[in-house]
Amino acid sequence: MIYLIGFSGVGKTSVAKKLAKDLNLKYIDTDELIEKKYKASINKIFEKSGEIYFRKIESDILKKIKNINIVSCGGGLPCYKNNMDFINNFGRNIYLKASEDELLNRLNMSLEKRPLLKKKNDEEKYNYIKNTIRKREKYYIRANYVIETDGLTINDVLTKINSLPITF
Ligand code: S3P
């Protein structure tokens, strides 16, 4: 099992989807899995039950994933509970990394799905990204591989992933 981790907006889901399609592999996205199981959007779950509850169901769902080649993880997932230990024990993982500026640009294109960001203005978003990455980096850097994605297309990232010594 290969886990893709990294900040919201870095492109984990797009990369996982394309990789799965190209190599005929099975992929899932932890947010999609939660939305299906709880029949509610991530936004609704945050609104109705709060982040602590979300982190619990996110961690529970991570541990139930079986027989999948690529798992695209929610941005906060590696940084809560013992999720990063679990990921490291259960498979290999890749941290897709991007700068604050790049993330801000990418996130501005997909705000509707992001409850932690959608009500913030640009300056607040930038500060949120900067401060949150600072807190999360210590978890992310425990990944087996780090790919710097600034300025890269999805295909460029795929080429880098395909050159890693990993099996799916
Ligand atoms: C979150 C990232 C989201 C989603 C939730 C919380 C975070 O996933 O799990 O909104 O804490 O950064 P993406 O990384 O797919 O946006």
CB neighbour list of residue 1: distance below 8 Å, 6 or more residues apart: 65, 68, 69, 70, 71, 90, 91, 92
Tens-digit pLDDT profile for residues 100-117: 999 999 988 877 778 888
Q: Whose CA is nearest to atom 8 of ligand 1?
A: 74
The boundaries of the domain holding residue 128 are 2-156
Q: State the pTM of this model.
A: 0.95
Q: What percent of the chain has pLDDT over 90?
A: 88
Assess whether the C-beta atom of 115 lies below 6 angstroms from ligand 1: yes
Q: 90 pLDDT exceeds 80?
A: yes
- CATH of residue 104: 3.40.50.300
Residue 163 forms part of a structural domain:
no
Q: Is residue 52 part of a domain?
A: yes
Q: Domains in the chain: how many in total?
A: 1
Alpha carbon nearest to ligand 1 atom 16, residue: 8
* Ligand 1, atom nearest to 42 Cα: 10
- Give residue 111's pLDDT: 76
Residue with CA nearest ligand 1 atom 4: 74
